[in-house]
Structures are given as structure tokens and as C-alpha cells.
Amino acid sequence: MHTPHRTNPHPQMPANLLTAGISGAMLGIVFGLSFGSLWLGLPVGILLGLALGYRFTVTPPVMRYPVRLVRAIFLAGAFCMMAIFVFMRLLRAGWTGSRALLAGLLPALAWALLVCLLAAAIASLDEMQRRIQTEAIAIGFAGSAVVAGGYGLLGIAGVVQVNWGLMVLVMALMWLAGKLWTMWRYR
């Protein structure tokens, strides 16, 4: 008797769900501990991670990133957040001087790893998608420079207290805006 051969339409699904689930759990722990509710943060983080992993697998993004690299970026991003969180906790626990410097290396290394993975992901794209990303980075850099300049001057004038976390967020948003703009241009 002939049995029909079924092929799995999403062979990457288990690995993607596992990676996204672990990343979500890490972020859930960070947010849970930050806001004093680990038992809420952890399941919410895992569920959000799984949902994102499922969505990514079923509907892959327009950019043709290798799936392995995307999984590595997910983990590195979550590791980065966790490293920053641990660093802040250690500072609050009274780590100063050379110990604080050593503790500061942990998020810096995680950040460097994330940047390297992002660069590898962009290098793996086709020529037009690489151009979109490069132009988006250029727009993001120019926009961030303008905002950082104005924000820094306001800080010197004593109008605002400079928050570097906010600047990272601005950089990310500027990159996103640049990407949307260039994707629209080459639509």
C-alpha cells in the first residue's frame, strides 16, 4: 500500500520556538526582577517569545536573513539585556573601582557580539537589501547625531539630565525610520 510522504512545511519551527522561548524567558526575568514580579514576567516573556518565534517561522520577514543568524541575534539581544541588568545590580550592590570596570565589560562584550551578528546578517543579504540596510544605518546615524547634539546641549544647559538608555532607544528608532523609508523607496 502506498503511504503518502508528508514533508514538514516548517522544519525550522522547533529550533525557532526554542530560541525565541529562551530569549523571551531571559527578557521576562529581566523585566520581572526590575518590576518585582518574576512569576508574571517569566511566563509572559516565554509566551511572547514563542509567539514571535511562531510568527517569524510561518511568515518569514521580507529581508532574507539566514535563520541561524536570526536565532543567534535573538539570543544575543536577550543576553545583552540580561548583562546590562546584572551590571546595574552589581553597581547597586556596591561594586566600585576596578570591580565595576570588570562588571562593565560583560554588557560591553554582549553588545559587541550583538553588533557583530547584526553585521554578519546584513552581509548575508542580497545587494539591494544590503543597500536598504546601509542607507537605513546612514539615516539612523545622521538622525541620532542631530538628536544627540541637541540633547547634549540641553544637558550642558542643565535643562535635562542626559540618559544614555534613551539615546540607544533614539538610535534604534532612527534606524527603524531609515529602514522604513528606504524600503518604501525600493518597494
Partner 1 sequence: MKNRLKELRAGRGWSQAELAERLDVSRQTVNALETGRYDPSLPLAFKLAALFGCRIEDLFQPEEPPRPARA
CB of 136 to partner 1, least distance (A): 14
SS3 21: helix
DSSP code for 160: S
By CB under 8 A, residue 180 contacts partner 1: no
> Which are the contacts of 15, defined by CB distance < 8 A and separation ≥ 6?
67, 71
Residue with cell 536573513: 65
Residues 59, 126, 157, 159: which binds partner 1 (CB under 8 A)? Answer: 126
Contact 132, 176 (CB under 8 A): no
Kindly indicate which of the ranges 1-9, 13-21, 58-66, 115-123 contains the residues binding partner 1, using the contact rule CB under 8 A.
58-66
C-alpha span between 17 and 14 (Å, rounded): 5
Contact residue for partner 1 among 1, 62, 93, 157 (CB under 8 A): 62
Q: Does 36 bind partner 1 (CB under 8 A)?
A: no
Count residues binding partner 1 (CB under 8 A). 12
Q: Minimum distance from CB of 130 to partner 1 (Å)?
A: 10
Question: Identity (one letter) of the amino acid at 150?
Answer: G
Footprint on this chain of partner 1 (rule: CB under 8 A): 62-64, 125-129, 131, 185-187
